[in-house]
Structures are given as structure tokens and as C-alpha cells.
Structure 1
Amino acid sequence: MLDNYWDDSEHSLNTRAPHLGKNCVTPMQDVSSIVTGQVLWDINYNFCQSWDRQNNTQWGTDNIETDLMEQRKRFVRTDYQPNTKLGAEGKLLMAQIVRTYDDPDVEDIMQVYLKNIKQTTSYIYTENQYFRFPPLVSAFIEHWERMRGAGREGPIHWFAITNSSDAGIGKGTKTTNDMLRLLGRQDVMPNVAKAVREEELKWQLKILDIQETKVRNDALNYIPAAKPLLNQNLKTVEEQRQWVRQEMTRIEALKTENADTADTADDNDETKETNLTRELGYELSDNPGIKAHICTLMPKDKTGKYVHTYKKQGKDEPAEVYVHSKVTIMDDVFTFIGSANLNTRSMQLDTELGILTECHESTQALRKRLWGLHTGNNPAANPDKMHDYQVAAKAFSSWQEIININKKIANSYNCALREFLRTDPDISRMD
């Protein structure tokens, strides 16, 4: 077990003796659950099926059980009864197990996400190690277009807690950028956004070069009557090339703009609308139907104050709570807790497991517990009745106020919430 798992909700940078708690600097945010009842039968099925796989490896010299799928046949679903002594005052919930599995091919977690995001009407909350599954945003945009056609005016609000650190974001900045582009929030990872756009424009130039070569080769065999058409084709290619070069010049200017103040970008006035996505030349609806806060979490130092840097061998090092959670909540009624990250691997390739419930009472309680932890128990930022999108809009504004305050007040932060900001321009594509 990773030492970080012994962290608690204080998320302190302090280390403790190995037998007393977390024995490493980096705090970890995670969400666990106790499950009883018939849903355990399904969890056991997944475990036994995985255990019996041909590629399961014997570790050490201990005897291991085999043919677990055969052994479990003596059990039936009704053998697993709920333990009313555990959970939220013994309240019984309807629950379902969903999974990603490679053989046989199962993508239930992805299907659950894509289906339920098309049913949300007020807000989405994701607390996840990664934030890079663009099909989820695409499905939402499709859902919003239908809602707008039916007369919906107010947006749906997306509250996201994730990682911006090298260790947390891993090798997936390209797909993270794709997700942010669809949401119109490339401002939180601006240098990757600019580098990706520059790559795209360079590819467009190469394609235009190929097109020009084809037109000129065709000209070798042209008949006189076709000369005007060939000239027009060459003119069109050249006009497109000039536009691409102008765009590359403009993007280069954006890359160097405010370069000297990159380290203090989070001190700027964030009450104004950012539109880096439009500045980079992407189409973005004036009313996309969604507003998104992309946030990270700050830990506490030895004195109990929230910090976003700490001293290591005399140098300032970034301090960020490592978000390991895989939790999604929608409209204070839908909850997913599992092992699946918001990325392609977890949705379509790896072996993952999750449990989902549909219960307002338990979902709201979980959301309020998490938001209370992240917002410093700010009641305006953590209200009841979040199924009402007007209430969600007010909560969204309260989060914005917290974000603004935590940008302007150095070394005196009032809670863990901090806007995501990653200035490293490196583009990685492993996931």
C-alpha cells in the first residue's frame, strides 16, 4: 500500500512515523466506501473472473486458490444481506456495479457516464485523478443543444477537482487540452494549448504543400482549356498558406505574450471572461451551455496554513494535494465511486470497477462533506438544493469568489480550493 493512503482529511505536508500515519510529504485526497448487501455478489463475480484469468501470476510460494468461478456457484445473490449497522444510519440504497474489462470486452463505466451526462440539468461534480476524456464533453454539448432547443436558458455548471502537478497529470497533457478546449477553459493550461495549436498549423502547412505538388503535377498533363482552373487551384492553395502563416505568427506572439509574468499568472484579475480558446482560432459557441471551474487542492503546512509551495533543500517546491479520487456526482442524485479515471484507458482499456447509486439523501450528503472539506465549510459555496440550476449558479459564483481571493491573498488562504494552473508547455500523448 502506498504510504500516501495513510493521509487524513487535514492533508498536511507533515510526515509522521510509519506506524502513526502518512510518512511522506505529498498528501492524498481519496474517497472510499463500505459496501454490504447483494451488490457484493457482483463485486465477487468480477474478482473471481479476474483471479481465474490465464494471465494471473503466482507470486511467492504460498498456495493459491484456483477455479474461483466454479467455487462461487454454491453462493446465490440472496446470501449477501445488507448490514444495517454500517452506512448512513442503516439506510438501504439501490446500487449497481459497472466495470471496464478487456476480455470479454466490457465498457459499462463509459456507457454509464455518456448516458447520465445527457440527463443532468443542474450541475456536475468530478473529483478525479485525471480530467481528460473529451467524449464526455462532446456528449454533454449534444445534450445541451437539445435542452436549448426546448427553451433552456441557464447553463449547467461543472465543478472539477483534479491534478495539475507532473506526478498527478502524468503523460496526458494533449487529451487534457482537448477536454479543456471543448469546455472553453484552455486558459488554465495555456502553454500546452498554444503549443498544440502551433503543431496543428504546421500540419496544415504540410498538407497544403502536398496539395500544391499535386496541382502542379496535374498541370503537366493539362489541356489548354483547364489552365484557368489549375491557376485558380494554385491561387486557393497559396491564399490558404498565407492564412496559416499569419495564424502561426499570431500564435507565436501569444506564446511570448506575458512570458515574463507566467509565474504570477494566477494573480491576475479572474473576474473577466477568458477566451484563449477563441484567441487560438477554435470555434466556441457564445452560449455553450456549460460553465466550468477546474480546480486543484492546496495542502497545509506545519503551522496549519494552506500553502501552494513549500521549502525543500532551501528551494520553493510546488505543493498540491494529490487527487486520487474517482468520484462523479450529478444533480445531487447520481453518484459514481470506483477505480476508473476520466481517461481513455479507464473507460476502454484497463480493468476497472465502480459502484453507482441514485439517491438524493446519500448523494447530497457526500457532496456536502467533500465540498465542506474543500471550501472551508463555506455555506454559500456548499448549499442544499443543488438540483436547482439557479442554486447551482449561485454556488458557482461563490466558488469563483473563493478562487479570486485565494489568488490575491498570498500565504493567507482561507481554504484548500485553488484554480488549476499549469504553465509547462510540454505535450504528452501516452493517454
Structure 2
Amino acid sequence: MKNIPGLYGQRYPTVGCAVSGYYSTEHQNYNANWFDEIINGAVPNIDFRLRNLSALYLPSSLQGEPPVPKNVIGGVAAIYATHHQKMMLIDFEKPEVAKGYVMGHNCLTDFWDTIDHPFQSPLRERFYREEPAAAARRYESPEPADFQGSGIYSPGYRYPITSAEERRMSLAVHLDRISFIAKPYQDVSCRVRGPILANLNHNFCEAWLASSQPRAWDKDTHMLSIDWLLASPKAAYRTLFPPDYDEAMVNRRKSIPSKSFVVKNGKHSAQLLRTQPERGEKSVKECYANLTRQARHYIFIQNQYVQYEPWAEHLRDCVAQMRRSDYNAEIYVFILTSTPERDGMDLHTYGVAERLGQSDSMVVEHADAVQNAKRGKSAMPLTPEQLKKQGINVVMGSLWTCAVKQEGWPLRDEDYEEIYIHAKVAIVDDVAFTLGSGNLNMRSMAIDSELNILSDAQDVAYKLRCDLFRQCAIEEGPSEKGSMVKIHAKWSEIMKENLRLKGAGQSLLCQIVNFHVDRKPGQPLI
């Protein structure tokens, strides 16, 4: 279970961390003590639940999907579903003030940042590569006796550095050496009001009835438990025989009609989308398919993972179909994604990049593909020029920030920092958008529990596009539904120039940089 640090107590301080590392001792203790209090009922107005997802429904959900990687890691991942939804529902039982959030954000201090994403901001979370308390114990010893010097009025006198002070100074240096500030994080969430809150409540109540209260000993035994296999029988039992409190709450909420949430002068429509294998839902996948099919001018995608090859193939098929129908306008595709956090994600990322003419952005895979083509084992990788002839223009980049450059001194490699894209956003033609928890990978399309929002609110889609363009590339682009030809070409130039500047130790023009991975790929993951 990820992104709930402290649930498993001080025995497993790194389980649940979003980052591979330790919090400060004080932070770890706070997290663990908070969960102890909640689980033991010390705070009666907080009811905390855990929701496990069963593996029993995954085989049917995976039908029609690409084959699962034939390795141990890939096989295990294919039967381990996670609850990946991110939503909040506030004051639902007071419709006049109720509001909700469909989010990309996780509720962690690890994910705090500003839209400027400053380099190494001390306001972001600090992590440690080893447990700080264990490091501190290595520097402990009794305090020395008081210094018996000649007095503070002696000429040249200064307070001596005692052995205890030396140890404290050494510890401070050591902790600084083993610590690091969390990466800048880019994310997008959406606040909603209106009848869609009834749908959010339905989603919440379904999950609530399928959840369970953690017990105090769970944190010590969870690593050995098989709850994830039993999730469906347990959920079915709770649905048939819900606790009185749960049943009363759910029924009370059900009794509130959706029209109670209608907002005066509300002008937008929106729909919730889910990936929910146990209910046979894959509407997040359907949303991406439909948005791509309906695109007539541009698609903007900012996503943590762009690793779903069927989407790239679907894009090319859709444009080819339009051209066969004599619609010959070109499609402009903007993709922003992070460097894959694990090398096991590289091959699926390459699968998308290669299909969209970006093969050379992943050096090792591209070289292998070229060699295989020369041996007659496959075709040469698709080039941007070849893709353009098919009517598709693609830029694919990552987001970076850098330190302030000092006059006469080049920036070092460590003075550049990638902005970790955690957002899951797609905008089409300034007329529709989706955002939420769903990544563009097979896990989000078919395995994990996901929640997105889809809206045809054109003014919101346009403003969201302008805000994101301005944030990462300074310029917001054309007017509403304007031509993307010039801004697409400009992005391509800026991305290439920023990659050159980064290699030359110079300041970046803005955040967008050509997507670039140069390492040997690992065993494929999903």
C-alpha cells in the first residue's frame, strides 16, 4: 500500500513513502503516532478505512490488452491491483456548500510544490537515504565535563569545541550528506460543484462499503497478509451485512437528490470516469480513445506515464481514417512526461515514442532498433518526417528547472533538476479535457482503481491549456481554438535548444526540454 507513510508504524518507516527514503525522525514519529491514535479510536470523529482490490477480476479486465511481460516482476504486477483514485468530497450532506475534488494530487507533504518549481526549494520535503535516528546514535556519547579554562577575559580566548560539539557538528554534516530535497512536482486537480457531487458520493460509498477498519496489529502483520486476495469475498460480505453506522450513513446520503446540488447559473457539464475491474468498468480508457478519435487539430497530454502503445496506434489509425475521408488537416500532438522512474518502464515508453516518430529520444532502444533493421529483423524506426506525411506532428518533452547561474561559471550536472510530472491531463482542441488519477499506461486502463473527470467546458479547457502552456513554456499559445502550427514549431525549437543549453551548463529558457533517456532498459513492468 503506497502513499500512506506511518500506517505500519516505526517498525516499517519507509513503507508507504512516495519516495525511496526516510523522513526525519520527528516526521516519522508524527506519522506513526497519528495512525496509532486513529486506529485505537483516540480521535472519535475520524473514521479511517483501508480498501483492498481483489485480483480475481483482473483476468477479464486484461482481455484485449497487450500481453503481460513474461517475467516474475511483470507477472506479479499483473495480479496486484492498487486503489489509485484521488478524490475529496466535502460537506456532502449540506448541498448548498458542498464541493468535491477530482485529483491528480496525493495527500502527502512529499507532493507539495509551487507552479514555479524552484530548484532545490527548502520548502519542499527533505528525505534521508538512511534512517536519521540510527545515524544519530552513532554519534552519541556522554557530555564532557565543563571546560576549566582561564576565563573569558583571557586574551585571545574563545569557547573551545568540545568532543560533544564535534560529534554534533559531524552528525550535522553527515545528515546533510545523506539527505536530499524532494523533486519539484507538477500536478493538476479539479474542484467541482453541482450534481456531479452525487456521482462522487456514489463512488465514495461503494468504496466505503468495500473497506475495512484497520486493527492495531495489522501494521505488524500486513507484510504477510493475503487480504488483497480475499478483498472481493470480504467486500461482498460487508455489502450484504454492512455495519449499522455504515448503512445509516450511506442511506442518509442516498436520500439526498442530485438536483439539490444544482448551482445557480451553472453552465458546465462533466462526467466521472472510472477504471474499476471488479465492476467491469474501463471508461478512462474509453475516454482517451474517444478524445483521440474526435481530435481535429491538437492533443495536449501531460502525464506521469506515457506507456500505453495501443493509444499511439489508435492515434495513427484515427488520423488515417480521417484522411481516407478527405479530412487532410494536420494534427499537432504535445506530450510532456517524466523520465521513467524505473528502467523497467523504459520499453513501454519506447513503444509509444517509436510509434510517434520519437525513437531517437531513447538512445539505447533506438540503437538496438536500427541494428535490428539493418539485420533485416524489423523496419527502421519511424521518423518525424515520415509521421508528418501521415498528418501527425509530435513534440515529446520533459520538464526541468535549474539553479541560478553565476556570472562566469557554468552550471554543473547537479545544478539541473527534473520536475517530476505527476499530472494526468489531456486537452483536445480547446473544447474538452480530462484529468484525474488515470495514467496513460496499462495499469490505469485495466488494472488499478482510477477516477477521472471528463468535461466539454470549452472555456475551462482553453484556460487550462493556456495556464499549462504559460507555466512550462512562458507563452500561452494562440487564442481560443486558434492555429497550433507556430506554437508547435516553437516548442520543438525551444526543447532542442534547452537540451543543448543543459549540456553546455547554461540557464534554461523555460521548463520544456526534449525527452531524452540514455540507459539500458530493465525487465518490462506494467
* TM-score, with structure 1 as normaliser: 0.70
Partner of 1:392: 484
Partner of 1:172: 345
- TM-superposed CA distance for 1:148, in Å, is 0.9
Query: Within 1, Cα distance between the matches of 2:394 and 2:256?
Result: 46
Taking a change above 3 Å as real, the CA distance of residues 57 and 180 of structure 1, as seen in their structure-2 partners, is farther
Partner of 2:40: none
Deviations 1:353-398 (A, max 9, x none): 011110221111110011001112x35xx1114x35xx11221111
Q: Report if the CA contact (8 A) 1:156-1:289 is conserved.
A: yes
Q: Which has the higher contact order (CA 8 A, sep 6+)?
A: 1
Partner of 2:511: 416
Q: For 2:513, give the aligned amino acid.
A: R
- TM-superposed CA distance for 1:37, in Å, is 1.0
- TM-superposed CA distance for 1:154, in Å, is 3.5
> Which residue of the other structure, out of 19, 34, 38, is the alignment partner of 2:191?
34
Query: Within 1, Cα distance between the matches of 2:411 and 2:518?
Result: 15
Aligned length in residues: 335
Query: Within 2, Cα distance between the matches of 1:177 and 1:45?
Result: 38
* TM-score, with structure 2 as normaliser: 0.58
Partner of 1:78: 259
> Which residue of the other structure, out of 335, 342, 365, is the alignment partner of 1:192?
365
- TM-superposed CA distance for 1:412, in Å, is 2.3
Q: For 2:494, give the aligned amino acid.
A: I
Deviations 1:5-27 (A, max 9, x none): 2200110123335799xx93410
Q: For 2:389, give the aligned amino acid.
A: N
Query: Within 1, Cα distance between the matches of 2:447 and 2:509?
Result: 40
Q: For 2:255, give the aligned amino acid.
A: R
Q: Report if the CA contact (8 A) 1:14-1:302 is conserved.
A: no
DSSP 3-state at the match of 2:295 = coil
Query: Within 1, Cα distance between the matches of 2:335 and 2:509?
Result: 19
Partner of 2:303: 128
Say what the alpha-carbon RMSD is for the aligned residues.
Answer: 3.3
| Unmatched 5+ stretches in structure 1 | 85-89, 202-243, 252-274
Query: Within 1, Cα distance between the matches of 2:279 and 2:296?
Result: 34
Taking a change above 3 Å as real, the CA distance of residues 184 and 303 of structure 1, as seen in their structure-2 partners, is closer
Asked if 1:356 corresponds to 2:356, the answer is no
DSSP 3-state at the match of 1:126 = strand
Q: Report if the CA contact (8 A) 1:13-1:25 is conserved.
A: no
Aligned-residue sequence identity (percent) comes to 24
1:166-315 to structure 2, matched below 5 A, reads 166-167=340-341, 171-195=344-368, 246-247=375-376, 277-278=381-382, 287-301=389-403
Q: Report if the CA contact (8 A) 1:297-1:417 is conserved.
A: yes
Query: Within 1, Cα distance between the matches of 2:285 and 2:216?
Result: 36
1:331-346 to structure 2, matched below 5 A, reads 331-346=429-444
- TM-superposed CA distance for 1:36, in Å, is 1.0
- TM-superposed CA distance for 1:52, in Å, is 1.3
Asked if 1:58 corresponds to 2:214, the answer is yes
Query: Within 2, Cα distance between the matches of 1:407 and 1:19?
Result: 28
Q: For 2:496, give the aligned amino acid.
A: N
Taking a change above 3 Å as real, the CA distance of residues 335 and 170 of structure 1, as seen in their structure-2 partners, is farther
Structure ranking higher in helix proportion: 1
Query: Within 1, Cα distance between the matches of 2:275 and 2:213?
Result: 21
Taking a change above 3 Å as real, the CA distance of residues 11 and 60 of structure 1, as seen in their structure-2 partners, is farther
> Which residue of the other structure, out of 271, 274, 278, is the alignment partner of 1:99?
274
- TM-superposed CA distance for 1:344, in Å, is 0.6
Q: Report if the CA contact (8 A) 1:309-1:319 is conserved.
A: no
Asked if 1:426 corresponds to 2:521, the answer is yes
Query: Within 1, Cα distance between the matches of 2:245 and 2:186?
Result: 34
Q: Report if the CA contact (8 A) 1:12-1:27 is conserved.
A: yes
Between stretches 26-35 and 293-302, larger displacement belongs to 293-302
Taking a change above 3 Å as real, the CA distance of residues 286 and 297 of structure 1, as seen in their structure-2 partners, is closer
Query: Within 2, Cα distance between the matches of 1:174 and 1:361?
Result: 37
Query: Within 2, Cα distance between the matches of 1:43 and 1:170?
Result: 36
Q: For 2:394, give the aligned amino acid.
A: A
Query: Within 2, Cα distance between the matches of 1:395 and 1:26?
Result: 28
DSSP 3-state at the match of 1:426 = coil
| Unmatched 5+ stretches in structure 2 | 1-106, 127-179, 218-242
DSSP 3-state at the match of 2:425 = strand
Q: Report if the CA contact (8 A) 2:355-2:382 is conserved.
A: no
DSSP 3-state at the match of 2:453 = strand
Query: Within 2, Cα distance between the matches of 1:65 and 1:24?
Result: 43
Query: Within 2, Cα distance between the matches of 1:328 and 1:59?
Result: 40
Query: Within 2, Cα distance between the matches of 1:18 and 1:145?
Result: 46
Partner of 1:347: 445
- TM-superposed CA distance for 1:60, in Å, is 5.1
Deviations 1:16-69 (A, max 9, x none): 35799xx9341000012211111111011111111211x6452559x9953454
Q: Report if the CA contact (8 A) 1:12-1:302 is conserved.
A: no
